[in-house]
Structure formats: structure tokens, C-alpha cells
Structure 1
């Protein structure tokens, strides 16, 4: 009972901090939730060998309702590119399934290192305010491009993110307008999160090291508490965001990601 209470407090704290940061920084999903959840699980003593698996899997589960709400809102405003969605979704789905299986088989430290490396790249891009010019006028339709969405799905499922950190810059490089790239990425978040969540439920089922309330690697208590508290806290973060300019927000986002990724990397390599 004591473990369940501590776990609930840890999940509530993760949702509140994650929602606040999401509101301030304009990001959501695993970029914020995974490192916060990994830290919270460590505080309550969850075994290090499965800590990242639970963080990644639970993060993917929380992305499902967020992606549904976000993609619907973008669709109503014409912000979802249905042509690209139809072409890329099957490959992202396959990549997500493959990434989920691989993640369930590797050591937790491998997931931590992979997440930390990606987070460092995103952090540096935000801190340095790096801008890139499109390589093409529009997203190519050639079947030869299939490895790109497949890789996005693969990496995103492995580290528990909705894919926006990878999909948006990739589509922007291919000439997709930023608002349509963001809206389409929100839809892809659902394509990544649903198979990823189900896969982690199946591959982690019966693991004796799992904390209370877990269905496979997905912690049901975490999903039930993180999702609503994130929604609750995000508006407060948004209010703070309006008091700062875009450059300040980019720097805050970059510093935050850099700190959590370096911490995660040091712990994984120790």
C-alpha cells in the first residue's frame, strides 16, 4: 500500500511538472514525460533494469489522448496533410512496432543513452536557434522515401515520444509549411503511440520487477494520473510563456533538455 501511495505521488508530480513545462515550452509527450518519469521511478526504488522501459511505455500511453485531441483540432483548421498522412502512416506504424520490440529486448541503459543523445541534439538546436532551408519544394512522393517515416516510427517508439521532434523538422526540410507539419505530426503521434503502447503491454507482461498497477511495461496508475494532471498544469505554463519572447522560451527549453539528458546519460554510463 505504501509503494502504491508513493507511486501515485510520483506520477502526480510527473504530470504536474510535465504539464507546466509543456505549457511553457509548447512541447508535450515524451520529451518532457520520459525523463521526469524515469527520475520519479528511481526515487521510489523501481529496479533500474526496467525503469526506462516503464517510462517509455507509460509515456506512449499518455500520448494517445493528447494526439487525438491535438490532431482533431489541427484537422478542423486544415492543418493535417492527408496525402502525406496516407503515404507515411503505414511505414510509421511498421517502424513503431519494430522499435517497440527492439526496446523491450535491450537493456534499460541503452534506451536512456538513445533518449539522452536525441534530447541533446534537440536542445542544441533550440539553444543555438538553428534554422535550415527546405531541401525540396514539397514532400517527395517516391516509394524510396519509405525508410524515412519508418525510422521516425522506430526511434520514437524506442524512446517514448510522439514523433514531433523528428517529424516536424523532417517535413519542414522537405518543404512542408510548419503549421501543416505540426498538425500532421500530431496525427502521426497516434500512429506511433497506439501500437507502441500495446506492444509494451505484451512484451512486459508478467515481469516480476514491475511496480503496482502495471499492465506489462505500461503503468496504469501513471497513465491515469499523468494525463489529467498534465492537462491541468499546461495552462499555467502557457501563462508564463506569454510573459517571455520566443527566444527566451527556446533557451529555457534547450537548457531544460540539456540538463535532463546529461543527467540521464551520466547515470546510464556510470
Structure 2
């Protein structure tokens, strides 16, 4: 039990770093970690993947709000990109959370891995992510991107417990925003996903966690590690070169993908 808590605490610290640097809010770290801990401890009756996704959403509520406030103080949030997407992401998140409760744990894990694989391939093969587009100023979001894109982002992000950063960061990146701003805005855009997902999973009548599908002990351990590191990491994020920032983003996604595949083997 102590070993599991210390592991969650350690990865909570890593979550804080990735929340600020990459806008993940914790999802891509907490889902594999909680899934791995529950699988290793073999808690009777636990639905490891659903509990992992639900707990990730709860952790993201706190992490994303804390990081968004820190990024706002640093002046990295652009209202023209954040606010149009927020409402549509929230709508999609509610539908995505309900849908996830109807999907089997194995299928949910495979969808999580597939989502990562597609994102990595898209970022490598399509221009505009690893290097900033050659334009004088960022492009505005189109109406279709805001409505259909925002709803789709919310649906997929809430269903997989990932906060949407892996869709919003490439989207904003290809609009001409530097990585430091694209990742910063992923945090406030993750808040509606996290809140919607947490409420749906917490109220699920068939949940196998301590509160619906939520594992409150795991969430507390993760937050105990993440919040202090968010406060520290926000001071250095602007010093990372843009190219290094974008490459590191993809490397981390690849590491998470490999971890999920290995744990599910």
C-alpha cells in the first residue's frame, strides 16, 4: 500500500511538470499510472481502466485550474482562442463521459492507445507542428473549428480522460501560435472536460471506485505531488526553445503509448 502511494506521489510530481509544460492537465500520466497501480494491486471488483479515466478527470480539475491561473498571470492566454471553444468542449465532454461508461475497459484502453498513435503520426507527418508556420500573425479559429471541432474535442477528451490537450495543442500550433502559448491555453480548455467528466463518473451508479468510479486516495496522492511542482515549473516554461518544446511533447506521448501497450500485454 505504501509503495503504491509513493509511486502515485512521484508520478503526481511528474504530472505537475507536464501540466505546465505541455498542457496535459495530468491525463496522459495519471491514466496509465492509476491503471497500472490498480492492476498491480488487483483490488477485487475494480474496473481499472474506468477508475483510471475517472480519477484522471478529477485530478485534472485541480491541476488545470491551478496551471491556467499561473499561465494567466504570465500573460500567455489569448481570449480569442480560449473562450469560443470552451462552451462547445463542455457539451462534447458530457456526451463523451456518458459514452465511456458504456464501453468495456479493454476497448477503452485500446482506444486510448489508438488515439495517442494517431496524434503522434499526425504531428510528425503533417506540417505545422514541429516548426511554426511561416506567417506574420496567428490565424483565427473558423466557425466550424469552434463548433464541430470543439464538440469533438470535448467528446474524445472526456471519454479517454485526457483533457483534450493532444487535440487543442496541435490545433492552436497550426494556427501559428508558439508552443508556450498553445500548451498554456490547453489548461483552461481542459477545465470543462475535467469538470463534466468528474461529475458523470462520480455519479455513475455502477462505479467500482470510492465515489462512483473515482479513487479518492489515488487522486489525493497525485495532487499532493502535482500542485507544488506546478508552482515551480511555471517559472521556467518560457525558457524552453520552441523546437525543443514541440519535440519533447511528441516524445512524451510516445513514452505513454509504449507504457499503455506494455501494461496491457
Indicate the residue corresponding to 2:139 in structure 1.
137
Name stretches of at least 5 consecutive residues in structure 2 with no aligned partner: none
8 Å contact kept, 1:200–1:218: yes
Aligned counterparts of 1:252 and 1:199: Cα–Cα separation in 2: 33
The residue correspondences of 1:191-270 to structure 2 (distance < 5 A) are: 191-203=192-204, 205-207=205-207, 209-210=208-209, 214-232=210-228, 254=250, 257-265=253-261, 268=264
Indicate the residue corresponding to 1:111 in structure 2.
108
CA RMSD of the aligned region, Å?
Answer: 3.8
1:12 aligns with one of 5, 9, 18:
9
Aligned counterparts of 2:8 and 2:36: Cα–Cα separation in 1: 11
The residue correspondences of 1:1-270 to structure 2 (distance < 5 A) are: 8-9=5-6, 11-16=8-13, 18-19=15-16, 28-46=25-43, 50-123=47-120, 130-131=130-131, 133=133, 137-140=139-142, 142=143, 145-203=146-204, 205-207=205-207, 209-210=208-209, 214-232=210-228, 254=250, 257-265=253-261, 268=264
TM-score (normalizing by structure 2) = 0.78
Q: Report the 3-state secondary structure (helix = DSSP H, G, I; strand = E; otherwise coil) of the residue aligned with 2:47.
A: helix
Q: Report the 3-state secondary structure (helix = DSSP H, G, I; strand = E; otherwise coil) of the residue aligned with 1:218.
A: coil
Query: Comparing 100-109 with 31-40, which one deviates more in the overlay?
Result: 31-40
Q: Report the 3-state secondary structure (helix = DSSP H, G, I; strand = E; otherwise coil) of the residue aligned with 1:138.
A: coil
Name stretches of at least 5 consecutive residues in structure 1 with no aligned partner: none
Distance change (3 Å), C-alpha of 1:134 and 1:109:
farther
Aligned counterparts of 1:108 and 1:157: Cα–Cα separation in 2: 15
8 Å contact kept, 2:18–2:26: no
Distance change (3 Å), C-alpha of 1:116 and 1:74:
same
Shift of 1:104: 0.8
8 Å contact kept, 2:88–2:151: yes
Shift of 1:132: 6.3
Superimposed CA distance per residue, residues 135-183 of structure 1 (whole angstroms, 9 cap, x where no aligned partner): 983222x257411011111111111112222101112223345444333
